C-alpha cells in the first residue's frame, strides 16, 4: 500500500493542541525548539486560552511544532512513505519530515516566515474567505469584481475555493460570488491575505532568511503547493518557498499528484482533520485518514 502524508497549515490550530504529546519522548522536539529560538514555545502548545493562537506568528509556529510531534509518533506505524505534501505552512512541515530541512533549521525558517507574514498582514489588513459551492472560474470572476484587491488563494477541493485580500476586496468578491451562485461564504480564522500579492514584501524579506539554510534531497517526493508537482531536488525549494507566499495553493491538484505517485492511502498528520476531509472530496476513490493522537 502506498501511503502519502499530508501536513496541515495555519487555521488548524486549537487551544492546548500539543497536550497529548506532553508526556511522550516526542516532546524533545519542543524543548529543542525552545533552545533554538530562546523562547519557551511549549506554552503555545499547552495554553487553553484560544486567544493565544489568534495571531499568525504564534499560530504558525504552534501548528508546525504540533505537526512534528504527530509525525514523530506516527512515522513508525505508517511505514514507508510514498510522498509528502503540506498545505501552505504545512509545506515546511513536509520538507522537514522528508529530510530537506533539519528540525533546527525548520524551526528557524518557520519562525522567520511567521514573523514576516505577520508583519505583512499587519500592514495590509484583510483576511481570507472560503467560497463554498463555487468553482475556480467563479472565484476568479468574483475577484475581478474586487478590482485588484482580492485574489484566489486556495483551490482546496471541488466546491471549496478560498479568496484573500483587503477587507473591502473580500466584501466585493463575496458579493459577486454569491450573485454567481456560491452557496456560502465563510471568513477563515486567519489574520492576513495569505498567498496573494499582498505578501510580496514578506517574500522579499524571506529570501534572506532562506538563502543560506542547508537543504538536502528528500527521502521521498514532496509535492509543491504552487505547481502541484512532485520534486526530488533540494535547492529548488528556496524559490518555491518564496513563490508560495504570493501564489495560490493548488491543493486539489496536489492531492491528484499524490495519487499519481502511487498513493492509495492519504494520511493527515498534525492538528485537525481538515485535509483528510478535503482529500475525500478531491478523490473519493482513495482512502483518507487522520493519524491517531496519543491517548
φ/ψ of residue 160, rounded to 5 = -140, 105
- Cβ atoms of 291 and 268 within 8 Å: the answer is yes
Domains observed in the chain: 3-123+196-290 (3.40.366.10), 126-187 (3.30.70.250)
- Cβ atoms of 105 and 209 within 8 Å: the answer is no
Mind telling me the catalytic residues? 88, 195
pLDDT (0 to 100) of residue 76? 87
pLDDT (0 to 100) of residue 205? 97
Q: Is the pTM of this model over 0.95?
A: yes
Mean pLDDT by 10 residues, the chain (295 residues): 94 96 97 97 96 94 98 93 98 98 98 97 96 96 96 98 98 96 94 97 96 97 98 97 97 98 97 97 97 91
d(CA 193, CA 248): 11
Cβ of 232: how many Cβ atoms within 10 Å? 13
Q: Which residues contact 39 (CB under 8 A, 6 or more apart)?
A: none
Amino acid at each position: 500500500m502506498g501511503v502519502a502524508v499530508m501536513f496541515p497549515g495555519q487555521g488548524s490550530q486549537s487551544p492546548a493542541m500539543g497536550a497529548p504529546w506532553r508526556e511522550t519522548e516526542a516532546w524533545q522536539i519542543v524543548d529543542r525548539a525552545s533552545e533554538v529560538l530562546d523562547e519557551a514555545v511549549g506554552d503555545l502548545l499547552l495554553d487553553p486560552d484560544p486567544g493565544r493562537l489568534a495571531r499568525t506568528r504564534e499560530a504558525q509556529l504552534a501548528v508546525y511544532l504540533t505537526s512534528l510531534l504527530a509525525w514523530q509518533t506516527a512515522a513508525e506505524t505508517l511505514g514507508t512513505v510514498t510522498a509528502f505534501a503540506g498545505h501552505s505552512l504545512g509545506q515546511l512541515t513536509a520538507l522537514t519530515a522528508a529530510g530537506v530541512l533539519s528540525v533546527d533549521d525548520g524551526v528557524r525558517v518557520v519562525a522567520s516566515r511567521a514573523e514576516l507574514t505577520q508583519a505583512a498582514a499587519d500592514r495590509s489588513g484583510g483576511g481570507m474567505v472560503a467560497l463554498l459551492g463555487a468553482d475556480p472560474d467563479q472565484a476568479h470572476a468574483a475577484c475581478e469584481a474586487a478590482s485588484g484587491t482580492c485574489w484566489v488563494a486556495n483551490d482546496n477541493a471541488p466546491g471549496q475555493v478560498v479568496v484573500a485580500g483587503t477587507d473591502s476586496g473580500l466584501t466585493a468578491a463575496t458579493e459577486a460570488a454569491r450573485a454567481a451562485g456560491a452557496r456560502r461564504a465563510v471568513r477563515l480564522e486567519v489574520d492576513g491575505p495569505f498567498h496573494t500579492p499582498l505578501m510580496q514584501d514578506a517574500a522579499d524579506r524571506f529570501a534572506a532568511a532562506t538563502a543560506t539554510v542547508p537543504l538536502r534531497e528528500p527521502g521521498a517526493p514532496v509535492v509543491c503547493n504552487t505547481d502541484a508537482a512532485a520534486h526530488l531536488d533540494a535547492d529548488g525549494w528556496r524559490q518555491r518557498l518564496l513563490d508560495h507566499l504570493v501564489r495560490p495553493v493548488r491543493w486539489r491538484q496536489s492531492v491528484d499528484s499524490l495519487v499519481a505517485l502511487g498513493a492509495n492511502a492519504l494520511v493527515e498528520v498534525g492538528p485537525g482533520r481538515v485535509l483528510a476531509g478535503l482529500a475525500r472530496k478531491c478523490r473519493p476513490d482513495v482512502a483518507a485518514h487522520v493519524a491517531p493522537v496519543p491517548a
